[in-house]
Each structure stands twice: as C-alpha cells, then as structure tokens.
Amino acid sequence: MRAAAAVLSTAVVAVSACGSTETKPAGPPHVSGFSLQSKLLGRHLDQRLVTPAGGGKGRPLLVFLHGYGGSPSDTFDEAFASSLQALGGQAPVVLLPEGEVGWWHDRAEGKWGSYVLREAIPAALERSGADPDRVAIGGISMGGFGALDLARFGSFCAVGGHSPAVYERGSDEISFGFDDARDFARHDLLTTARRRNPYGDVPVWIDVGKQDGLRPAAAKLAHELKADGADVSFHVWPGGHDGQYWDAHFSQYLRFYNDACS
C-alpha cells in the first residue's frame, strides 16, 4: 500500500514544442479499505476501493478479482498503481473485493459469486458515486475465471480474464476449484462457449503467457467465443503464470477497460 501511494504521488511534467510548461497532475487517487459484513457468506470481508482525485462520481467502476492465494492489497501493487495513474482524469474507480479461495462462484462453501454481484458492487457504487451503468469486471488467474463466469449473470460494460484459470471437462485440476462434477458443469465456460456467446456485444479480453500451462484452454475459449460472434480480444505474450507477467501488462488491461466503458 505504501509503495503504491508513493508511485501515485509522483508529479507529472509536460514539455511542449514551444517551451517548458508544467501540467499539474490530478493528484493521487485515494486508496481506502472497508469491511463488508456479508449476509450471504456470514462474515466480514475486507475490500479495497481506489477512488481517483476529485471523487468517483459518474466514473466507471472496475471490479478486479484477485487470484488464488492473493488478496485485494497485494493485487493493487506498484505496477497496477502506476498504470492507473497514467490514465489521469480518465481513471475509473477500482474495487478489489476479498475472495479468499472461494473461486468467485456460488458453491457449497458459500455464495462467493452472489456476494460480489449483490453486496460488494452495490457497496462500492454507494461509497464512490461511480456510474452503475458502467461497471467492468476483470481479474487474474482464479479471478480471471471469476470475472468471465460472473459476467454471464451481471450487466457489465467490459469483461477481462488475465491468465484465466479455465479448465476443460475431465481435467485433473477441476477438483482444485470446484466442489464436484455438478459444480463444475454449472460453471464450465468452455462448454458454454461452444453452445452460445454468453456475453452478447460486451467487449471481452483474454490474455495468457506463452509458457503458461493454462494457455491451451484460454486459446480454446477465445476461439469458441469468436466463432459465436463475441467481441473478443485475445493476446498471447511471453511469460508464465506469475506476477511478473501481469505487472508487465496492467497498462494494456486498464486501457481496454477504459476504452470499452468510456
């Protein structure tokens, strides 16, 4: 948090062809935490809310879901902060909810998907004043799966899966994120995409590292969605399934959400 704040407080100086002109930055966004008492999950869950300088009223809201073993605070790292700062006055409000290891979907352990849609997002909109008609959702790894899954049920202006943890039916990894075969079948993104485009005309972004073991499934998902007529941007870049890969591309992610929801 302190490292992110240091990056966000850096001054910006613009130099024009006619001479040196100082352009005052809008100022660093406000990073705050709040505890949400979830009635659906029966517990307090920590949230991070990043509000641009000047307030969040009327801005888009980006809901960004962390990966397995991650948290809201470590997801909003220095690279995320500096990429957000670079958007200046176009920066969205960012909500980073706590998902523990619930895999962002309703399951026997608890209603992790409904909690995001019905509790976390409304709380962020109320606190920030962001535009309820311009809400984007994205995430990394487990969070990338969660964003692509939840976008089927909510109303979003954009959805992004960054190295999304998408599994094929019969994969040994299914037991890692799902209760059983029935739970997986309800959230089988590949099978759903083979049948129809669940996102309509909402812009979809999927990216994955060349050395990432999840690359084949991500590529198949993008292919199936494109075949269904979905508006998909698919990228494969050098790297694996780690923070170094995501840090290198936060600027592209944020520009995508900004362009889609502007």
| CATH architecture of the domain with residue range 29-261 | 3-Layer(aba) Sandwich (3.40)
**Quick one: what percent of the chain has pLDDT higher than 90?**
82
pLDDT score at 25: 55
Q: Tell me which residue of 130, 148, 131 sits closest to 139, measured CA to CA.
A: 148
- Helix 250-261 and helix 78-86, axial crossing angle in degrees, nearest 10: 40
Per-residue model confidence (pLDDT) at position 72: 97
Average of per-residue pLDDT across 5-16: 39
**pLDDT higher than 90, residue 54:** no
Within 8 A by CB and 6+ apart from 257, the residues are 60, 62, 92, 136, 138, 158, 160
Report strand pairing: 19-21 vs 14-16.
Answer: antiparallel
- Give domain limits for the chain: 29-261
The string of pLDDT tens digits covering residues 27-50 is 777 899 999 999 999 999 999 999
Taking residues 74-79, what's their average pLDDT?
Answer: 94
Q: 115-158, pLDDT tens digit by residue? A: 999 999 999 999 999 999 999 999 999 999 999 999 999 899 99
Residue 84 near residue 49, CB atoms below 8 Å: no
52: pLDDT strictly greater than 90? no
Mean pLDDT score, 234-254: 98
CB atoms within 10 A of CB 77: 17
